[in-house]
Amino acid sequence: MIVDLVLHNAKAYIKGEILECSIAIEEGKYIKIGKQPQMPNADQKIDLHGLLVLPGLIDEHVHLRDEEKTYKEDFISGTSSAAAGGFTTVLDMPNNQPITNSVKTFKNRLEIAKRRTLVNIGLYSEFPENLTTLTKISYEGAIGFKLFMGNQIGGLNIDDDQALKNGFKAAGEANTVVAIHAEDKNQITLNEHQFKKNKRNGVKDYLLAHTEQTEVQAIERAIRTSEGSNACLHFCHITSKQGLETIKEAKKAGKNVTCEATPNHLLLTSADTARLGMIAIIAPPLRAKLHQDALLKGVIQGDIDTIGSDHAPHTIEEKTVDSVWDVKVGTPGLETTLPLMLTLVKKKIVTFQKLVEVFAEKPAEIYSLTNKGKLEKGKDADLTIIDYKRHWTIAASKFKSKAKFSPYNNWEVIGKPVKTFVNGILIMDENEIVANPGSGRIIQKTTQ
Ligand code: DOR
Ligand code: ZN
Ligand code: ZN
């Protein structure tokens, strides 16, 4: 038998252990994992010289823009950024231009993504106004539905509890995940209004307007209004101790609830805002150290299920404005997330096991990506290959993303993704993109 590819001298993460082995790949799937002499012949052989091999990592929270926002990012630049950052699958958010929340906008976005993507990609939809359309979009393969509670983006009236209830009920019936941006719009609007009236428009004022209570209120409201529905709630970018406590209680009560943290909220605090200025303005914002500590503990203890980059590219002009109320919120993260987390592994703050759990196993489970998340015979041959000893310095000017700024510019990190394979195809090699746009696959949720 001759297979497509065999990788030799791998240190691969398999069932909780790091094992020295070879990996055979045929037609985009693992066909054999074992000792070198047991490997079949192959068209291509690559010696990995002891590099670490992880199951392809999944970033379940990215904003890849494209369509009418290609000036910020497009699928080619965004998924090049993903491949360079060690992600083989990304799940893309729907706050686009046009907003992805109809069968037409969803199918159109899927067509564009298919031709341009370098990694596997699943698309979220926003809620449509008419909930019968939700079933149709879900049928087209939406990976989940996004609910922005901090500002009105989709078709669900977020000021109306009954509308939220209906939305959760419909999502439950369609057996789809609802990814939630939990901030209370009304409270934030009131706070912002006060600050603007008093001509307070600095970075600190933004943090004071987006208090942690606004997050807790929104989490409580989402849990309350989803009561009795079958919806799976996935809370994005949790930032507060109390928010996390609320989610822990819901989990304990048997509710179908999971949550995500971003490296921003795990590694930066509100104290960094003055130093970093507008580029560190993200939603929800950075918090005080006590929250950061609680989140890190939440990751270590398994209360936080996933880590997502919340890659949110903007132009540098959009990030360098005078008033904080005019700044576009968000920061790119695809090329920094994994190295930052690898550095925490090196510092023995988190384990490799945890890394694989939050970036592969849990996202695969939450989003029903049944062929992903594990290095196992028969699964998709998505691989993230890491030089875990490499010391290097983050340089935002070299990002593949169009957004060439970062709160982590010039940070010293340890550990670098050096190769990314997607369905058995080498996409990124030593920071070079070596495959063509369209090499990645579209992931459509299979509707039962
Ligand atoms: O920081 C953020 N950026 N938070 C959001 O909710 C939206 C995102 C974006 O799309 O830029
Ligand atoms: Zn968000
Ligand atoms: Zn986001």
pTM of the model: 0.98
Q: What is the pLDDT of residues 220-256, one digit of tens each?
A: 999 999 999 999 999 999 999 999 999 999 999 999 9
Cβ(180) to ligand 1 under 6 A? no
Q: How confident is the model at residue 1 (pLDDT cuts 50, 70, 90)?
A: confident
Mean pLDDT computed over 204-213? 98
DSSP 8-state class, residue 38? G
Cβ(95) to ligand 1 under 6 A? yes
d(Cα 222, Cα 363) in Å, to the nearest integer?
A: 21
Given the residues 310, 380, 382, 387, the one annotated as active site: 310
Q: What is the pLDDT of residues 99-132, one digit of tens each?
A: 999 999 999 999 999 999 999 999 999 999 999 9
Please name the residue ranges forming H helices in 198-252: 203-209, 212-226, 241-252
Spatial neighbors of 288 by CB under 8 A, at least 6 apart, are 269, 270, 271
Task: Kindly identify the ligand whose nearest atom is closest to the C-alpha of 329.
Answer: 1
With contact defined as beta carbons under 8 Å apart, do 305 and 259 qualify? yes
Q: How confident is the model at residue 274 (pLDDT cuts 50, 70, 90)?
A: confident
- To the nearest whole number, what is the mean pLDDT of the chain? 97
Considering the chain, what percentage of its residues have pLDDT values greater than 70? 100
Mean pLDDT computed over 45-72? 98
Whole-number Å distance, alpha carbon 26 to ligand 3 midpoint, is: 35
d(Cα 119, Cα 116) in Å, to the nearest integer?
A: 9
Spatial neighbors of 226 by CB under 8 A, at least 6 apart, are 164, 165, 168, 172, 178, 233, 255
Task: Say whether pLDDT at 447 is over 70.
Answer: no
Identify the pLDDT of residue 448. 40
Identify the CA nearest to 355 among candidates 51, 55, 82.
Answer: 55
With contact defined as beta carbons under 8 Å apart, do 374 and 308 qualify? no
Measured by CA distance, the residue closest to atom 5 of ligand 1 is 283
Cβ(283) to ligand 1 under 6 A? yes
Identify the CA nearest to 266 among candidates 230, 295, 246.
Answer: 295
With contact defined as beta carbons under 8 Å apart, do 380 and 351 qualify? no
Task: Say whether pLDDT at 197 is over 80.
Answer: yes
Identify the CA nearest to 88 among candidates 338, 406, 304.
Answer: 338
424, 429, 432, 436 alpha-carbon torsion, rounded to 10°: -10
33 pairs with which residues across the strands?
Answer: 23
DSSP 8-state class, residue 195? H
Identify the pLDDT of residue 63. 99
What does the DSSP assignment read for 255-316? Answer: --EEEEE-HHHHH--THHHHHHGGGG--SS----HHHHHHHHHHHHHTSS-EE---B----H
d(Cα 432, Cα 430) in Å, to the nearest integer?
A: 6
Cβ(146) to ligand 1 under 6 A? no
What does the DSSP assignment read for 323-368? Answer: SGGGSPP-B--TTTHHHHHHHHHHTTSS-HHHHHIIIIIHHHHHTT
d(Cα 345, Cα 384) in Å, to the nearest integer?
A: 16
To the query of whether residue 310 is one of the catalytic residues in this protein, the response is yes
Identify the pLDDT of residue 66. 98
Ligand 1 pocket test: pick from 91, 184, 282 the residue with the most ligand atoms within 8 Å of its Cβ.
282
Identify the CA nearest to 58 among candidates 119, 115, 146.
Answer: 119
Q: How confident is the model at residue 196 (pLDDT cuts 50, 70, 90)?
A: very high
Q: How confident is the model at residue 386 (pLDDT cuts 50, 70, 90)?
A: very high
DSSP 8-state class, residue 183? -
Q: Which pairs with CB-CB distance under 8 Å and at least 24 residues apart come from 188-192?
A: 188/150, 188/214, 192/325
DSSP 8-state class, residue 253? T
With contact defined as beta carbons under 8 Å apart, do 209 and 281 qualify? no
d(Cα 380, Cα 422) in Å, to the nearest integer?
A: 8
Identify the pLDDT of residue 400. 98
Identify the pLDDT of residue 164. 98
Q: What is the pLDDT of residues 326-359, one digit of tens each?
A: 999 999 999 999 999 999 999 999 999 999 999 9
Cβ(181) to ligand 1 under 6 A? yes
Identify the CA nearest to 48 among candidates 338, 339, 433, 419.
Answer: 419
Domains plus CATH for the chain? 2-53+380-435 (2.30.40.10), 60-366 (3.20.20.140)
d(Cα 361, Cα 150) in Å, to the nearest integer?
A: 29
d(Cα 257, Cα 254) in Å, to the nearest integer?
A: 8
Spatial neighbors of 250 by CB under 8 A, at least 6 apart, are 223, 257
Burial of 15 (0-12, 13-18, 19+ CB in 10 A): exposed
Q: Which atom of ligand 1 is nearest to the CA of 329?
A: 1
